[in-house]
């Protein structure tokens, strides 16, 4: 290995977005296991952002009460009906789930549920998504879905672009880090794998839009390049132990520089859907005004469902609202993971 390669490896900003343990019985031993996993990764110079638990056997408040560590992100996984869980979900606010509409006829009450949430518990919009063809064991919430006991890991791989002068260099950095995680945990029976999704957050080197700009690619024109396709081909083919979504996330308000593009009208819902069909995983943390037309939401649900079926690919929809901002008004989320923006119409 050359000195320059040693230097590049030592400078890699290795960020784990999430370690998620999937269990039917959350207890103190599971929490301790998450702490041990975090310590093992930190010994390898990884920074761990969040630790999470997904448990399908408990209700929202019951799950919160069974977990002592309040810093853990929690999810009950996937449900096919809202039914009697609605009020508990609103009350819990920060326990996630997804509504699987893959094979459901989209009805008005699916849309009404979102608008009731916006009115009664807007914070809960951050913890909810509609899901279609959702794969199991992704460590990212709210799409996380229980299939078997064990843990999976998801990175914030945009940080690995630090110092990279080409797309290929960034991709090779990702591959090296996947291999490092595989070597660390491959002997463990409870290691489910790595979700190699591109999960950007914040700005600068953590932002996908920022990386494109460093490659002299204007986001507005980026959908006419093959960059996204090259990224998604690589993360699906080269991940040594894939699990979960393994796709390109375009979280409108979590990638702060993508939020800037949204405000400049460069990231309409139509373009979001196009890029999702092109290479992405759906509509994520997309702002919605409290006065938005519910019929538009219903049409978006129908369209994304049919595209997911037609192309047999996982797609999800997560709209977020602060419960106050109308179309044309500035949001006030009070959420460190969401950038405030002036809300636009869904078009």
pLDDT tens sequence across 255-296: 999 999 999 999 999 999 999 998 999 999 999 999 999 999
Under the banding of pLDDT at 50, 70 and 90, the label for residue 19 is: very high
Q: pLDDT tens digits for 307-320?
A: 999 999 999 999 99
User: What local confidence, expressed as pLDDT, does residue 83 receive?
Assistant: 84
User: What local confidence, expressed as pLDDT, does residue 162 receive?
Assistant: 95
User: What local confidence, expressed as pLDDT, does residue 247 receive?
Assistant: 97
pTM here is: 0.95
In the chain, alpha helices (H):
3-10, 28-43, 60-66, 86-92, 108-120, 167-185, 208-214, 219-222, 227-237, 256-263, 269-278, 294-311
Q: Which pairs count as long-range contacts for 114-122, CB under 8 Å and 24+ apart, including other chains?
A: 114/288, 114/297, 114/319, 115/294, 116/86, 117/90, 118/288, 118/290, 118/321, 118/323, 119/290, 119/323, 120/90, 121/89, 121/90, 121/91, 121/93, 122/321, 122/322, 122/323, 122/324
On whether the CB atoms of residues 135 and 314 are closer than 8 A, the answer is yes
Average pLDDT over residues 133-158: 98
Average pLDDT over residues 232-252: 98
Average pLDDT over residues 139-163: 98
Could you give the strand order of the β-sheet that contains 282-287, starting from the edge strand earlier in sequence? 191-195, 150-155, 15-22, 47-54, 73-79, 95-100, 128-132, 315-320, 282-287
Tell me the β-bridge partners of 20: 52, 152
Average pLDDT, the chain: 95
How many Å from the N-terminal Cα to the C-terminal Cα in the chain? 51
Tell me the β-bridge partners of 195: 154
Average pLDDT over residues 159-181: 97
Q: Is the pLDDT score of 20 beyond 70? A: yes
User: What local confidence, expressed as pLDDT, does residue 190 receive?
Assistant: 98
How many CB atoms lie under 10 A from the CB of residue 9?
15
Tokens at 274, concatenated: 């196009």
Under the banding of pLDDT at 50, 70 and 90, the label for residue 10 is: very low
On whether the CB atoms of residues 315 and 304 are closer than 8 A, the answer is yes
User: What local confidence, expressed as pLDDT, does residue 1 receive?
Assistant: 39
Under the banding of pLDDT at 50, 70 and 90, the label for residue 237 is: very high
User: What local confidence, expressed as pLDDT, does residue 93 receive?
Assistant: 87
Q: pLDDT tens digits for 59-72?
A: 999 999 999 999 99
245 or 8, higher pLDDT:
245
Closest CA to 54 of 43, 44, 67, 41: 67
Average pLDDT over residues 241-265: 98
Average pLDDT over residues 163-179: 97
Closest CA to 316 of 114, 79, 132: 132
User: What local confidence, expressed as pLDDT, does residue 5 receive?
Assistant: 43
Q: pLDDT tens digits for 69-112?
A: 999 999 999 999 998 899 999 999 899 999 999 999 999 999 99
Q: Could you tell me the residue ranges of all domains in the chain?
A: 3-94+138-280
DSSP 135: P
CA–CA separation, 266 vs 268, rounded Å?
6
User: What local confidence, expressed as pLDDT, does residue 9 receive?
Assistant: 47
Q: Is the pLDDT score of 210 beyond 80? A: yes
* Residue 142 φ/ψ, nearest 5 degrees: -90, 0
Q: Could you tell me the maximum CA-CA distance found in the chain, to the nearest angstrom? A: 61
CA–CA separation, 43 vs 27, rounded Å?
25
User: What local confidence, expressed as pLDDT, does residue 84 receive?
Assistant: 85
């Amino acid at each position: 290995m050359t000195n320059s390669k040693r230097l590049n490896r030592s400078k890699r900003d290795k960020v784990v977005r999430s370690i998620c343990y999937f269990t039917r019985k959350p207890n103190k031993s599971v929490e301790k296991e998450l702490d041990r996993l975090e310590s093992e990764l930190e010994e390898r110079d990884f920074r761990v952002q969040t630790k999470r638990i997904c448990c399908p056997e408990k209700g929202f408040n019951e799950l919160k009460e069974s977990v002592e560590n309040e810093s853990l992100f929690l999810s009950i996984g996937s449900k096919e009906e809202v039914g009697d869980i609605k009020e508990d979900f609103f009350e819990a606010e920060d326990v996630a789930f997804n509504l699987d509409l893959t094979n459901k006829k989209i009805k008005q009450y699916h849309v009404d549920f979102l608008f009731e949430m916006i009115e009664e518990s807007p914070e809960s919009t951050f913890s909810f998504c509609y899901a279609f063809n959702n794969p199991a064991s992704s460590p990212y919430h709210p799409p996380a879905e229980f299939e078997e006991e064990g843990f999976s890991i998801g990175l914030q791989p945009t940080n690995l672009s630090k110092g990279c002068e080409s797309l290929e260099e960034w991709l090779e950095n990702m591959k090296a880090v996947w291999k490092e995680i595989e070597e660390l945990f491959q002997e463990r029976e409870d290691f489910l794998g790595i979700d190699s999704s591109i999960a950007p957050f914040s700005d600068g080197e953590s932002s996908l839009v920022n990386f494109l700009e460093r490659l002299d690619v204007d986001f507005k024109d980026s959908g006419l390049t093959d960059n996204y396709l090259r990224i998604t081909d690589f993360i699906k083919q080269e991940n040594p132990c894939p699990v979960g979504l393994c796709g390109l996330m375009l979280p409108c308000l979590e990638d702060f520089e993508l939020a800037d593009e949204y405000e400049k009208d460069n990231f309409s819902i139509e373009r979001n859907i196009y890029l999702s069909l092109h290479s992405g995983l759906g509509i994520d943390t997309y702002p919605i005004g409290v006065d938005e037309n519910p019929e538009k939401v219903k049409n978006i649900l129908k369209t994304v469902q049919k595209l997911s079926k037609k192309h047999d690919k996982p797609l999800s929809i997560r709209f977020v609202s602060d419960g106050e901002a109308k179309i044309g008004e500035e949001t006030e989320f009070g959420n460190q993971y969401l950038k405030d923006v002036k809300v636009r119409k869904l078009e």
